[in-house]
Amino acid sequence: MAKPVVKKKYTLTERVYLIEIIKGLGLTFKHFVFNVKASFRPGPHTVPTCWQYPEDRREIAPIFRGAHMLMLDDQGRIKCVGCGMCAKACPAQCITVKRGKVAEGEESKYVGKTYPEEFVVDLTRCIFCGFCEEACPKGAIVLGPEYELAQYTREECQLTKEGLLANYYKAKEEGKLKPPKKPVPVAASAEPVAKKAAAAKKAAPKKVEAQGAEAKGDAKEAKAKEAEAKKAEKEQKSEG
Amino acid sequence: MEVRRPTIEDWDNPGDLVTINIGPSHPAMHGTLRVIAQTDGETIVSAEPEIGYLHRGVEKLGEHLTYHQFIPITDRLNYCSAIANNVSYEMAVEKLMGIKVPEKAQVIRMIMMELARIADHIVCIGILGVDLGAFTPFFYLFIQREEIYEIFEWYNGARLTNTFGRIGGVEADLPEDFEERWRKLLPNLKKAIDETDKLLTHNRIWMDRTIGVTAFSPEDALSWGFTGPCLRACGVKRDLRKDEPYCFYDQVDFEIPVGKHGDVFDRYIVRMIEMEESIKIIDQAIKIYKEFPPDAPLMAKVPKIIKPPVGEVYSAIEAPNGELGFWIKSDGSDKPYRIKIRPPCYMVYQAFPELVQGEMIADLIACLSSLNIIAGELDR
Amino acid sequence: MNWVIAIIKVVFIWTWCLLWATVMTWAERRGSAMIQDRLGPNRAGPFGLFQPIADGIKLFTKEEFRPKTARKILFNLGPILFAIPAFSAYAVIPFGDKIVIGGKEILLQVADVNIGFLYVLAIGALAVYGIVVGGWGSNNKYSILGGLRSTAQLISYEVPWGLALLAAVFVYGTFDLRQIALEQTGTFLGFLPNWGVFKQPLGFLIFTVAAYAEANRVPFDLPEAESEIVAGYHTEYGGMRLGLYLFGEYVNLYTLSALCVTLYFGAWNLPYIDMSKFLGPISYGIASFVVFWLKVMVFLLSFIWVRWTVPRFRYDQVMRLGWKTLIPLALFNLLITALFIQLTV
């Protein structure tokens, strides 16, 4: 386990410290001159990288994943139907949705038969992965361009429906609403599951299978929910 | 005269050795690493790393999340190159399910992973410079890293924790201005690498600080389970991109840089050359990418709720730090039964006491930086 | 009357050093930013020039924290021991030629002593006590390591430093710094300015390297190597105690630069031009002061410039460079100088 001994071989220019150091000094001096000149240049960022933050802001991507917002449709109704798909997809479990049934006579106020009575996004838990946005069948919840999320209290970090809508209005005012996402082209047919894996399934012990059955139950529930969401969608279409 | 008050070291320190507690809160300990070093003057007699300060139970978390939901968690492993972690995990699940990822998605993955590799190496080399007292290259490199993050942001809206890709493909096509951005970044990136090289490589102070410091033999490195740049610096030509090619790595042309002594200097040089090779790979991959029609599929047909068949799988890729593997056991449900992550840092860090023994305190810092230990990946 | 002038001079040079020490903290940050493609502090005042004032207010108003296990007396003594030599070293170094006001000739130097040279050496050696006492008194391992590193470094670099200065003394034949400055008028070999650097190029090089080590600047900043031993000897310090260390360091830099200018760069003399011939007595005094100050500034800025270019040495490498390279070189320089003087005189 002896450590290898390394013999240092230096060329003459390396052996004399000064030559390389002077070269380096020349390089840094070039940067210095360039930057001093550039810092007198007008414009938002004077030296290649520095943004004077609160005054000058970097252009953020139109698809930036910031604080959430709830989208409204053309008639100013919340697109959300309270299906809870976002809450289910969230890895950090930061979304709470309480579904409320639309009372009779108020159908015109909502897009579907149900609506989110309560919609809370806990920003202290959120990891901004954007899965809620992908899961939403209505395109109702969207991660917006807002990134200044510091608050003084925990309560302020809970984005309620009002907060979500405020984010929407703000983004709309600034023209920072996301462009519609291009649909991702999907391959025509699903590849067959590998045979090996199928064989492993047979050989698996019973216990694991039992667990699998349980999980299947879960999956059924999920499927049911999905169907519900689809139903809601259909209903909305028929209404439209 | 004041009587010396006994301190805790008096009991557990029998000889003349001084116990120095480096970390977990120390400017050079990369977050939350801790090394308890017994020193004789400045020479390290023994160094005992203590890990776990950033343990978040990532593997256990995986057992409670669905397969898809685990992707954002993998971002938090090696946060310097989140994309490589994402892809590694996705490839493991795809292997488990037998999904064939569309080729265009594979190319996109490859481009993004190489960008992430450059970003990761930039961090490593920059920090190595800072720890050895050369502050300036850090900034030259980090400015370019920022530009790489800009590319990531325009791709899917996040800079550091990208949550890149989905099981069965990628979530979006490359943005239209991707190539333009890359062409704009390329000369600056090359210049930054070149300037770092000029400031450091042939500087005698730098050479004195790095050459022969914590050298390691290839046999030792292999038996400790080294992978990645640390192994290649020791002289072993092992790179999963060449040895077990995935994505399109067998169709692009690139070299694997190999060091000789496995010392800090070799690790630094290997990383420097790897950045340049990555640039080459990206250039070629963009060419491959352009051959696909714009509406070529990006996602394989994957069921909405992923339920892999019962079984287990191990799949690894060459992450910037080395072999990053995911072992997944499925019980047929929509949640993994167990996920085991094989982070490259963990294996490398095990050899740390042996690496630094007999060196000086300053070398311990240099060694740690050159190994590129990322606490998020180490402690998980 | 003389003592009034003396006091005025003392107060003037003291505030002058302090002023430039504070400006140096600004220059250090802005200069490094410009080298590193950043902007640096630019909020307080125009170009961030008031930043040192803000820093000073912060340091003054911060809690004077002392760790429970620190030795009270030593902990308090350390910064003082460091700052006093730093502030008093300038006493014998001139800051200009002379100024004639009302027929009275005033030397721009606090004390024109004929062993000024030895005084600088002795006071310079004192600075190490401040570091060691502070490092020891903090009762922190990093501090002690920093203190020990500093001791070893300062003591080993004192030798080549002293030897390089000795060679300069050979050339000028005097210990009096003012006399040395006065000797550097006219030309050398007919075309070069009669500056010490042309007579003692090797000596100047050794002096510069040793000066960097004496001032604990990169690449010799081991005593406070941030990434290795946190902050070295001032790890446990905060508030104005830390301020004294930092100011002391910059005042030290000013002193070293002034010494370098006096010895090797012709003090207040401009090359090929004799200012005293065409300037009035008062304007000549001011001009000599300004020229001297500008030369010092060049050296001060080079300290910053080097700091942000090169990496740091390792402890043993510093020792090796000091003992195995610089001391033999300095001795060789001494030999050559002595031989040359013997042969030419």
CB contact under 8 A, A32 and C31: yes
Q: At CB < 8 A and 24+ separation, what contacts does A35-38 make?
A: A35/C33, A35/C34, A35/C35, A35/C37, A36/C34
Binary contact (B365, C218; C-beta < 8 A): no
Residue B34 near residue B24, CB atoms below 8 Å: yes
The pLDDT, as a whole number, for residue A228 is 55
Residue in C12, C256, C214 with CA at minimum distance from that of residue C120? C256
DSSP string, B318-336: EETTEEEEEEEEE-SSSSE
C310 → closest Cβ in A24, A31, A50? A24
Question: Residue B253's Cα: distance from chain center in Å?
Answer: 22
Bond into B24 cis (ω within 30): yes
Query: Subunits that touch chain C (at least 3 Cβ pairs < 8 angstroms)?
Result: A, B
CB contact under 8 A, C311 and B26: no
Q: Return the axis-axis angle of helices B264-290 and B361-371, rounded to nearest 10°.
A: 20
Find the mean pLDDT for residues C265-269. Answer: 80
Strands B311-319 and B322-330: antiparallel
| pLDDT in the model for residue A5 | 65
How far apart CA B26 and CA B34 sit, in angstroms, is 9
Q: What is the H or E stretch that residue C80 is in?
A: helix C72-88
- State the distance between the two ends of chain A, measured CA to CA, in whole angstroms: 77
| B39: enclosing H helix or E strand | strand B34-40
CA–CA gap between residue C192 and residue C99 (Å, rounded): 27
Whether residue C247 contacts residue C84, with contact meaning beta carbons closer than 8 Å, is answered with no
Query: What's the CA angle centered on B37, arms B32 and B41, to 5 degrees?
Result: 135
SS3 for B90-120 is HHHHHHHHCCCCCHHHHHHHHHHHHHHHHHH
pLDDT at A196: 41
- Judge whether A48 is closer than 8 Å to chain B, CB to CB: yes
Tokens of B255: 């070299």
A150 CB within 8 Å of a chain B CB: no
Contacts across the A-B interface (CB distance below 8 Å): 198
- Answer whether C217's CB lies under 8 Å from C307's CB: yes
CA dist., res. B247 & res. B105, Å (int): 9
Find, in chain A, the residue whose alpha carbon is nearest to that of C42. Answer: A52
Q: Give the pLDDT of residue A45.
A: 64
* A-C C-beta contacts closer than 8 Å: 41
Cβ of B200 and C311 within 8 Å?
yes
List pLDDT tens digits, range B234-256.
888 888 888 888 888 888 888 88
Nearest one of B84, B74, B113, B105 to B302, comparing CA atoms: B105
Average pLDDT, chain A: 74
* C219 → chain A, closest CA residue: A21
Residues of B in contact with C219 (CB under 8 A): 133, 205
Query: Contact B200/C36, CB-based, under 8 Å?
Result: no
Please choose, from the candidates C122, C247, C100, the residue with its C-alpha nearest in 3D space to the C-alpha of residue C175: C122
Question: What secondary structure does DSSP assign to C100-161, as a single string?
Answer: EETTEEEESSS---TTHHHHHHHHHHHHHHHHHHHHHHTT-HHHHHHHHHHHHHHHHHHHHH
Question: Quick count: other Cβ atoms within 10 Å of Cβ A134?
Answer: 16
Confidence of residue C60 (pLDDT cuts 50, 70, 90): confident
How far is C317 from chain B, CA to nearest CA, in Å? 8
The Cα–Cα gap between C290 and C292 comes to: 5
Q: Provide the pLDDT confidence category of residue A202 given band limits of 50, 70 and 90.
A: very low
Please, are residues B118 and A24 in contact by the beta-carbon 8 Å criterion?
Answer: no
Please report the DSSP string for chain A in residue order.
-PPPP------HHHHSHHHHHHHHHHHHHHHHHHHHHHHTS-SS-SSSS---TTTS-PPPPTT---SEEE-B-TTS-B------HHHHH-TT--EEEEEEEPPTT-GGGSSSSEEEEEEEEETTT-----HHHHH-SSS-EEE-S------SSTGGGEE-HHHHHHHHHHHHHTT-PPPPPPPPPB-SSPPPPPHHHHHHHHHS-HHHHHHHHHHHHHHHHHHHHHHHHHHHHHHHHHH-
Any B CB within 8 A of A18 CB: no
pLDDT given at position A67: 86
| Closest Cβ–Cβ partner in C36, C227, C314 for B27 | C227
Of A20, A24, A219, the CB nearest to B307: A219
Q: Which residue of B has its CA nearest to A188?
A: B301
Share of chain C above pLDDT 70, in %: 99
Within 10 angstroms of residue A165's Cβ, the number of other Cβ atoms is 17
Per the structure block, which two tokens stand in for B235?
């002289």
Average per-residue pLDDT for chain C: 83
CATH of domain A68-174: 3.30.70.3270
pLDDT of B13 over the 60 cut: no
What are the residues whose beta carbons fall under 8 Å from the beta carbon of C280, sequence distance 6 or more?
none
Q: Tell me the whole-structure pTM to 2 decimals.
A: 0.84
Output A103 or A135, whichever has higher pLDDT: A135
Q: What is the mean pLDDT of chain B?
A: 85
The per-residue pLDDT for A198 is 43
Question: CB under 8 Å to B160, separation ≥6 — which residues?
Answer: B75, B79, B82, B149
Q: What is the pLDDT of residues C104-160, one digit of tens each?
A: 777 777 777 778 788 888 888 888 888 888 888 888 888 888 888 888 888 888 888
| Residues of chain C contacting residue A46, judged by C-beta atoms under 8 Å apart | 39
Confidence of residue A167 (pLDDT cuts 50, 70, 90): confident
Q: Domain segments of chain A: what residues? A: 12-58, 68-174
Q: Ranked by mean pLDDT, which of B91-95, C62-66, C280-284 comes out on top?
A: B91-95
Measured between alpha carbons, how far is C96 from C106 in angstroms, rounded to an integer? 10
**Chain C residues closer than 8 Å to A16 by CB:** none
Nearest CA to CA, how far is B303 from chain A (Å)? 9
Residue in B with minimal Cα distance to C226? B27
**Neighbouring chains to B with at least 3 Cβ pairs closer than 8 Å:** A, C
Confidence class of residue A48 from pLDDT cuts 50, 70 and 90? low
Q: Decide if B134 touches C, using CB distance below 8 A.
A: yes
Q: Where are the alpha helices (DSSP H) in chain B?
A: 9-12, 58-63, 71-75, 82-97, 103-131, 136-156, 178-200, 204-210, 218-224, 228-234, 240-243, 264-290, 344-350, 352-356, 361-371, 375-379
CATH class of B61-379: mainly alpha
Other CB atoms within 10 A of residue B378 CB: 26
| Contacts C32 to B, Cβ<8 Å | 135
The pLDDT score that the predictor gives to residue B122 is 92
Alpha carbon distance B177, B13 (integer Å): 62
pLDDT score for C238: 81
| B17 reaches C (C-beta below 8 A) | no
Q: What is the mean pLDDT of residues C183-189?
A: 75
Q: Reading across the β-sheet that carries B322-330, which strands appear in turn?
A: B311-319, B322-330, B336-342
Report the residue of C28, C29, C30, C39 to disrupt the A interface, i.e. the one with the largest count of A CBs within 10 Å: C39
Phi, psi of A160 (to 5 degrees): -90, -175
Confidence at B45, pLDDT banded by 50, 70, 90: confident
Q: Is A28's CB within 8 Å of C37's CB? A: no
- Facing A36 at nearest CB: one of C34, C306, C309: C34
pLDDT at B99 over 50: yes
- Among C residues 81-140, those touching chain A with beta carbons less than 8 Å apart: none
**Cα(B80)–Cα(B64) distance, integer angstroms:** 25
**Of residues C207, C202, C170, the one with CA closest to residue C299:** C207
Two tokens, residue B281:
């790979």
Domain ranges for chain C, please list them: 67-344
Judged by a CB distance cut-off of 8 A, whether residue B40 touches chain C is no
Does position B14 have pLDDT exceeding 60, yes or no?
Answer: no
The residue with greater pLDDT, A106 or A190, is: A106
A219 has pLDDT over 70 = no
Return the residue of B nearest to A132 by Cα. Answer: B69
- CB–CB of C310 and B205 under 8 A? yes
Residues of chain B with CATH 1.10.645.10: 61-379
* Residue A215 confidence (pLDDT) above 50: no
Q: Rounded to an integer, what distance in angstroms lies between the CA atom of residue C154 and that of residue C160? A: 11
Collect all residues of chain C within an 8 Å Cβ-Cβ radius of residue B361.
Answer: 145, 228-229
In A, which residues are within 8 Å of B212 by CB distance?
A: 5-8
Of A33, C33, C311, the C-alpha closest to B126 is: C311
Report yes or no: A38 at the B interface, CB cutoff 8 Å. Answer: no
Cα separations in angstroms, A216 against A89, A194, A224, B56, B328: 17, 20, 12, 29, 19
Instruction: Tell me, yes or no, if B360 comes closer than 8 A to chain C by beta carbon.
Output: yes
How many Å lie between the alpha carbon of A21 and the closest alpha carbon of chain C?
7
Structure tokens at B373: 């230990």
The DSSP 8-state label assigned to residue B5 in this structure reads: P
Going by C-alpha positions, the residue among B267, B212, B205, B206 that lies closest to residue B234 is B267
pLDDT tens digits, residue range C108-117? 777 777 787 8
Q: What is the ipTM of this complex?
A: 0.84
A neighbours by CB contacts (3+ pairs under 8 Å): B, C
The residue count of chain A comes to 240
